[in-house]
Structure 1
Amino acid sequence: MYLNNVVISGNLTKNPEVRVLSDREKPVTVTNFILANNEPKKDGKTAFVKVTAFGRTAEVVGEYLAKGQPVIVVGSLKQNSFENAEGQKVNYSYIQADNVQMFPKKNGSSQQQEPVVDTANYVDENDIPF
């Protein structure tokens, strides 16, 4: 038995990049973002992790996430490669997100904060048939 589950938390380093792959039979939304994961130690290092989401999760992430927002990503570790401008093969790892837990930014004010959005259980009111 093999397991490939990843759970990681951190803050977005920039706004997510959303695109639609329309060269398929059915278009698919893809969203990419980078997560900064800080080690809890005072002198800890920061890991920058690439994350990719597909479908409805990608749409929700693109709509609700912004630079600096804290999130928890649940998914699987994937590997890919490409050929750079010098003709060398470059390998890289990323997380394919199955679920993204989004939290409001801490702003220090006593105003009511936005609710947490769970992409695994998110239902758009327009999708309900009644």
Structure 2
Amino acid sequence: MYHKLIIAGHLGTDPEMRYTPEGTPVTSFRMASNIRYRDASGEQREETIWFRVSVFGRQAEIANQYLQKGRPVLVEGRLRPDPQTGNPRIFRRSDGTAGAVYEVRADRIVFIGPRPAEAPPAVEAEEPVLEEPGSIEEEEIPF
């Protein structure tokens, strides 16, 4: 079995990088994805879902260097369930209401929105690359 998750949203925190005991870089950040809709009574509603994203290797280094709070980003990856329940991690907010956090292991991160002052450096081909929109050459499109 296989699943893939694609999320577009904004970073809610600046990325934090650390290293595994083996020396592999890991960058984590929180991101929010919003949807606006009208309910049955015609009122405009907004729903926000929060994700905790972890990315490894060279992509972790690039994400830590170029991403910052508020930056729009697209993440492709897979959900990581709570090992105890198999569901999203449930917690209590300070106001007493319940909340859930969805953990995502990113396979690919795409910068969206305005290009930063410095473009990310090229990454070795054996690892997925952080891409900027519009970076695909026309000859590479399969149709």
TM-score, with normalisation over the residues of structure 1? 0.68
Q: Provide the rounded CA distance (Å) in 1 between the counterparts of 2:77 and 2:119.
A: 19
Q: Hey, what does 2:61 align to over in structure 1?
A: 59
Write the letter of the residue equivalent to 2:6. V
Could you list the runs of 4 or more consecutive aligned residues of structure 1 that deviate by over 3 angstroms after TM superposition?
113-119
2:38 is the alignment partner of 1:39? no
3-state SS of 2:105 partner: strand
Alpha carbons 2:59, 2:129 under 8 Å: kept: no
Alpha carbons 1:102, 1:116 under 8 Å: kept: no
- Which structure 1 residue ranges, 5 or more long, are not aligned? 83-90, 106-112, 123-130
- Which structure 2 residue ranges, 5 or more long, are not aligned? 38-43, 90-101, 131-143
The verdict on how the C-alpha distance between 1:58 and 1:47 changes in structure 2, with shifts beyond 3 A counting, is same
Q: Provide the rounded CA distance (Å) in 1 between the counterparts of 2:75 and 2:3.
A: 14
Write the letter of the residue equivalent to 2:129. N
- CA drift of 1:81 comes to 4.7
Q: Hey, what does 1:19 align to over in structure 2?
A: 18
- CA drift of 1:59 comes to 0.8
- CA drift of 1:104 comes to 3.9
3-state SS of 1:59 partner: helix
Give the length in aligned residue pairs: 104
TM-score, with normalisation over the residues of structure 2? 0.63
Give the percent of matched residue pairs that are identical in Structure 1 and Structure 2. 28
Q: Deviations over 1:33-63 (max 9, x none)?
A: 0111001324121111111101111111001
